[in-house]
Structure 1
Amino acid sequence: MDKRWKNLPCGYVSMTPQGVILDVNDTFLEMGNYTRDNLISNHIESIMSVANKLLFHSYFYPFIQLNGYVDEIYLNLKGSTGTDIPVLFNGKYYEQTEVVDCIFVHMGKRIDYEQEIRNAKILVEEAYREKDAALAKMQQLHLELEQKQSELIKLNQKLETLSITDGLTGLNNRRFFIEKMNEYILQSKQTNNPISLLMLDVDHFKLVNDTGGHPVGDKVLLQLAKLLTEFFPKGHIIARYGGEEFVVIMPFSNKEKSLNEAEQLRSTIESANWEVGKITVSIGVATSNLFETTTSILSKADKALYSSKENGRNKVTHASLS
């Protein structure tokens, strides 16, 4: 887990579908004043109250098995000193690796906001029962209530944006991409219009990091994200899949069209002005069929990307040719 994941503005836990903790980031450790040794290989329920364990059993396990994800479970974790830590919990199951990635967002501030709003409402109700002399005070409380509600809305929007956005590049993240891929696959089957998936990887990116350090590598990723955004039209879904890998959903795009766009993109990246010298990418492309799933088209694009790398990099390969 690199530095960015370790210091995300939310806790991250990787665990088995049965709840055994595999890895955590530093933010999660700080959230409960935990130590890595006390968490790794232990069960997630070891830091929950009895009531929250029952909630976990009745909601998390059935939903993660049935749907492959859970959203917005409100839990109270137990810190190392026994204190309650209110969190909003999201989980996503990856069948290929049999791992559940979990995000924990500390809800302390939100709870405070909600408590302030409830208190303000009580005061407003009391003010309505007062005489005319309380009118000015009631109006002031209304203003405070609106302000708190506005702050809560903004906080909710920020949480939603955080959950679907890559922290470094500002592109959509892997979670958002998977959700959209599922939608586009379904639409493709219903309309009988093909879609294509483009997966690209920066060639020799480790050398960039080793030579210039991670800040230089981050600049390359930021510039690449900007280039992708400018290159593709708004109808395309662009996301950072992980590390130096990016994915693009190309609607209404058959094999020929997707290959043409991918080759133009490869050439554009190769000829771009990079601070670190020449940067190239290897690209894999896959086009859907009537029996396609998100998992299968991802696998095809990944295999095509691997073929591009195996055949000298700075190449475009379609899954049908790999």
Structure 2
Amino acid sequence: MDIQLDLAPCGYFSISDSGVVQSINQTMLTMLGYERDELIGQHIESTMSVSNKVFFHTYFYPYIQLYGHVDEMYFTFRTRDQKAVPVLLNGVRQTRNGESVVDCVVVVMRKRIEHEKDILHTKTKLQELYQATQEANKELERLHEEYKIKEQALIKVNDQLETLASTDLLTGLKNRRFFQEKMLESLMMFQEKQRYFSLLVVDIDHFKSINDTYGHPIGDLVLGNLAGLLQTVSRSTDVVARYGGEEFVVILPDCEEEQAIGIAERYRSQVASADWGEYNITVSIGAATVVEEDTEKSLFQRADNALYASKTGGRNRVTHAAQMVRS
């Protein structure tokens, strides 16, 4: 860790999605009274009281999973000698070295806020329960069991929130945000390990006329049915997502030009031969295979240009970007 960051005038730590501390600066260690090797590899919740853990699970985890960042959250950590340290907490969730991490910065706050008073009140109440009679101890055990149940429920809710954040509600496919994350991961794998992949951009032919003729509810039905067909035809390793409107995208891992064209043709022919009732549904597809100089933007642009060539070439066809270059 750079000395500037290690001795910065604010605390810094990085945790995995599960909450395990991966790095921490000296300012944060001094703030909490720990040595570096005492916290690296430990769960960040080891620096929290029981009530703080509840608050962390209830607000921080769901928010960071849903929005990818937390801004100016008031929070309290606990030092080695059990003293409270009120802070202003900022966090951002990002991908580094192919793994999701949460980077956090904390600034010590000199004033307590209302929810800290509630936490202190909860802590005092728990201490009173521990010191009470046997009946109170049984009640405390009941509260702990209830806490465990609620903790599991929160974990489940967090998973559901993550699913919702990455899912297109109309079609049930992955959404544009999820696709962009996977594109970056795929590009990283290509740059580090030369693992080739291809991208397909799929667009419904004459979709506007379907909406204009039959109405948007029918258009939505066509989108949903097409999404299901694309998902059925795809391989288990493929990433199928709705990019927007009537446009879909497919990431094909371990797939170069010839195989990408074959898979795209399978998508196209399956759509063309499917039973759409009174509607005539076909798709045009543009394909591109990653090359050394590609960025997320350039790869998508090459596939999109190939899609345009399929459209202008008569629709219901597949065009690979490399074919355009050779021609």
- The alignment's TM-score, normalised by the length of structure 1, stands at 0.63
2:317 counterpart of 1:315: yes
- How far off its partner does 1:90 sit? 8.8
1:156-201: CA deviations, max 9, x gaps?
A: 2222222111111111111111111111112122222321100000
1:164 equivalent in structure 2: 166
Counterpart CA distance in 2 for 1:131 and 1:154 is 35
- Aligned amino acid, residue 226 of structure 2: L
Counterpart CA distance in 2 for 1:125 and 1:247 is 56
Which of 183, 186, 189 in structure 2 is aligned with 1:184? Answer: 186
Counterpart CA distance in 2 for 1:135 and 1:175 is 48
Q: Give me the CA root mean square deviation.
A: 2.9
- How far off its partner does 1:238 sit? 0.8
Within 5 Å, give how 1:115-194 maps onto structure 2. Answer: 123-194=125-196
1:114-148: CA deviations, max 9, x gaps?
A: 99998766543321111223122112212322233
Counterpart CA distance in 1 for 2:244 and 2:323 is 25
- Aligned amino acid, residue 153 of structure 1: I
- Aligned amino acid, residue 317 of structure 2: K
- Aligned amino acid, residue 269 of structure 1: V
- Aligned amino acid, residue 307 of structure 2: L
- Aligned amino acid, residue 299 of structure 2: I
- Aligned amino acid, residue 170 of structure 1: G
- Aligned amino acid, residue 191 of structure 2: K
- How far off its partner does 1:153 sit? 2.1
2:70 equivalent in structure 1: 73
Paired residue secondary structure (2:293): coil
Within 5 Å, give how 1:48-59 maps onto structure 2. Answer: none
- How far off its partner does 1:310 sit? 0.8
- Aligned amino acid, residue 184 of structure 1: S
User: After the TM superposition, which parts of structure 1 deviate over 4 Å for at least 4 consecutive aligned residues?
Assistant: 88-92, 114-122
2:268 counterpart of 1:266: yes
**Pair member with larger Rg:** 2
- Aligned amino acid, residue 222 of structure 1: G
1:215-269: CA deviations, max 9, x gaps?
A: 1111111111111111111111111101111000011111111111111110110
Paired residue secondary structure (1:307): helix
- Aligned amino acid, residue 72 of structure 1: H
1:298 equivalent in structure 2: 300
Counterpart CA distance in 1 for 2:166 and 2:259 is 28
- The alignment's TM-score, normalised by the length of structure 2, stands at 0.62
Aligned residues: 222
Counterpart CA distance in 1 for 2:283 and 2:120 is 54
Gaps of 5+ in 2: 1-66, 74-89, 95-115
Paired residue secondary structure (2:201): strand
- How far off its partner does 1:155 sit? 2.7
Counterpart CA distance in 1 for 2:237 and 2:224 is 21
Paired residue secondary structure (2:68): strand
Gaps of 5+ in 1: 1-69, 77-87, 93-113
Paired residue secondary structure (2:322): helix
2:250 counterpart of 1:248: yes
Which of 226, 229, 240 in structure 1 is aligned with 2:228? Answer: 226
2:199 equivalent in structure 1: 197
- Aligned amino acid, residue 307 of structure 1: A
